[in-house]
Structure 1
């Protein structure tokens, strides 16, 4: 059985074809770019996201030179948009998970924060889907439906209106224990009466598509970080991985126990398969790869591939807090801003590059420390994946700060493989 697995991410869409022997027959990546707006806005063109899925998938199928038997899709998670369910046309831009313009909505709902945390396992923060959905309804349109991008993409592929439970568990309106939409939480966010997607398991066939050739089933819907957790075989409670992409995301499996964090982390559905639901606990660094791209946009580096060569051997006392889109777990300060400290007249661009590398590693190390408190077991080895794992400087800084081995996943395609 050959599968076309698609990973629709913030910085690009990757499509791979895997044959029945587990061999990669084709890998295609199509870049996409968010637009960063004043006031904390981060948006993407929905048409561009869909076009990237179709282009990457079709090119991968053509390159593979063999028929595919199924399509799987991993998605960004908390990115939302409004759209017309009859025509499929977008009614808004896609509001990316990094967007924090709904911070005021979260502040207004702070009296409900404890209830929301108990019910959903999440923290009331603009990072998650529901505040952005409310923001869209108040500021952009009351028409159509408002959903995460996976529901919109799957609708274009199959005509169905569905979302998987892992993605829904990142919304702030899913009851984590029943894995059903919660009417009380929907009311808190002013989303009562909204038409929401039917929830499906990760291994459920949700429809079929002819978007990539002859008609094949679409199966294997999952949010991106959980897909990587599955691909890296973090199946037992306490096993953890960190994906270094646009952000850095640390997840540890908790098995069938939906542990509620006491340290400021969040809990979500890891996957729902074969009739069973398992969970994970996670922490987030909102800007990792996007911090490197920021250095590139400023002209400090020409190419992310040259990161290690351009970094100084040490930071010269300079420290960097990678809060370019605020701070997530365990601090949850969407109003926080990035900062370099410790600079002097002798500070040069190589020191700033090194400080950014070390700042990303330091935030991940902080997450590893608190996740061990919630799971009750230290992380003895950290499995890692994502584009930034190509930086030996970052991986060494991570191992040094953790004082533990860092195992780089042998494939650059963990998320797509997990789907």
Structure 2
């Protein structure tokens, strides 16, 4: 049995750290904010120093609360956030371009003739969401110096001196060969990145180096991208299971097993994890704006925060005819239309804040339904339930709306911070490879299960209204 481990989840708007003991559970926690900058033209940036600082602050706070040493560290990351940096000194050469950033749209348009080949090689559609277009944009417009990588490679280098990335994170770049789980020469050539020095692709569990950043030197033994960490923590390890995390965006992943399934319903085919040299794959769908749409409504003064969703939304019985498509950063899967703008329609003099809140919940939930339907189509079998986690799962209104539109039970995780728990489990496996994922991950027990309360015909009607609103969305001016 391994001792406690420090599990760090470096996210878009903050970092969460947990000290997890296999016998006693979470014995320490810490958080630190990150403040990405939302700039004109769909640009989203973060200060790399703030990312690293948040990891150190949160990790040290968790250790201080635990009051005892740990045996290892695990790190989860944002996935598609990239930067250029000097590998000799570790100094950032650019700001971090966040996964939501759309500045590489023109580059993607230029590479459109290669879209199908890129999807076949890497499992990913051609879109600015992924890391490779951002990496190529940095090389064209900012600097040819140093290396350009996803943020995890820089963070790991700062912590340990190693130059690595894990297989799941590498699978989010559009530069990884999906079948071989190694860098694709063909994809690198398309992006003009063939001469780049790239990090070594490693398993998600196993020692990659040691760090003294949190006190005495301990090994870093778990590395994974955030959504795959949540998939593991929710025990979705067999084909056909699915989970959705409601954070800054919403992310649905469906396990497909040991073979990649290149779906044709608009979902991404990618690496779930690689353990002991054996790869598991998943289908992945994204909603760009979930909690960030709630924050947008908060900034407008309609509500004071996410805690208002239920009291304000339940002040009215329905949306009052209001339809909200929260495409505030475009639409991801299954549409892949980053140029689209959001819309609120059906407004009247009798529209209240409650109607807007209900319409927002409906818009978020409807996009997740589209992802679940696409996953079922690609798997060839319907989903039987949906396991969910993330901050917005605290909203009973959103979760009930999700169950109603999905027409399936929605099982809410009893464990907060499942991303950190997932990478904590990998850190334990990295220390003791004899552990299986099921042995390392806490037993799944939902805190609540939301059953559909409306008939299928009503759900279909409401989804039809949402789809019509999507079809009418305006595009972003060029």
Aligned partner (choices 386, 389, 393) of residue 385 of structure 1: 389
Aligned partner (choices 114, 137, 156) of residue 135 of structure 1: 137
Further displaced range: 170-179 or 19-28: 19-28
Structure 1 residues 72-109: Cα deviation after superposition (integer angstroms, max 9, x where no partner): 00000000011111111111111011101101111100
Aligned partner (choices 170, 175, 178) of residue 176 of structure 1: 178
Mapped contact 2:240–2:383 kept (Cα < 8 A): yes
* Residue 221 of structure 1: aligned partner: 223
Q: Are residues 1:355 and 2:356 paired?
A: no
TM-score, normalization by structure 1: 0.99
Residue segments in structure 2 that go unaligned for 5+ positions in a row: 424-478
Residue segments in structure 1 that go unaligned for 5+ positions in a row: none
Match of 1:206, SS state, is strand
Alpha-carbon distance between aligned partners in 2 of 1:52 and 1:44, rounded to the nearest angstrom: 12
Alpha-carbon distance between aligned partners in 2 of 1:16 and 1:3, rounded to the nearest angstrom: 8
* Alpha-carbon offset, residue 275 of structure 1: 2.3
Alpha-carbon distance between aligned partners in 1 of 2:140 and 2:325, rounded to the nearest angstrom: 33
Alpha-carbon distance between aligned partners in 2 of 1:104 and 1:353, rounded to the nearest angstrom: 34
Alpha-carbon distance between aligned partners in 2 of 1:140 and 1:296, rounded to the nearest angstrom: 34
* Residue 5 of structure 2: aligned partner: 3
Aligned partner (choices 198, 205, 208) of residue 206 of structure 1: 208
* Residue 120 of structure 1: aligned partner: 122
How large is the RMSD of aligned CA atoms in angstroms? 0.8
* Residue 47 of structure 1: aligned partner: 49
Mapped contact 2:30–2:60 kept (Cα < 8 A): no
Q: Are residues 1:318 and 2:318 paired?
A: no
Alpha-carbon distance between aligned partners in 1 of 2:139 and 2:190, rounded to the nearest angstrom: 14
- For 1:23-172, list aligned pairs within 5 A: 23-172=25-174
* Alpha-carbon offset, residue 303 of structure 1: 2.1
* Alpha-carbon offset, residue 271 of structure 1: 0.6
Alpha-carbon distance between aligned partners in 2 of 1:284 and 1:181, rounded to the nearest angstrom: 24
Count of residues in correspondence between the two structures: 419
Alpha-carbon distance between aligned partners in 2 of 1:160 and 1:210, rounded to the nearest angstrom: 13
Alpha-carbon distance between aligned partners in 1 of 2:143 and 2:17, rounded to the nearest angstrom: 32
Mapped contact 2:83–2:92 kept (Cα < 8 A): yes
Q: Are residues 1:296 and 2:310 paired?
A: no
Alpha-carbon distance between aligned partners in 2 of 1:164 and 1:22, rounded to the nearest angstrom: 28
Alpha-carbon distance between aligned partners in 1 of 2:140 and 2:103, rounded to the nearest angstrom: 12
* Residue 418 of structure 1: aligned partner: 422
Aligned partner (choices 329, 335, 342) of residue 333 of structure 2: 329
TM-score, normalization by structure 2: 0.87
* Residue 374 of structure 1: aligned partner: 378
Match of 1:243, SS state, is strand
Alpha-carbon distance between aligned partners in 1 of 2:71 and 2:301, rounded to the nearest angstrom: 45
* Alpha-carbon offset, residue 22 of structure 1: 4.8
* Alpha-carbon offset, residue 137 of structure 1: 1.1
Structure 1 residues 119-172: Cα deviation after superposition (integer angstroms, max 9, x where no partner): 111100000000000111111111111100000000010011100010000111
* Alpha-carbon offset, residue 31 of structure 1: 1.6
**Superposition misfits of 4+ residues, deviation over 4 angstroms:** none
Alpha-carbon distance between aligned partners in 2 of 1:338 and 1:26, rounded to the nearest angstrom: 40
* Residue 350 of structure 2: aligned partner: 346
Distance 1:106 1:22, change over 3 A: farther
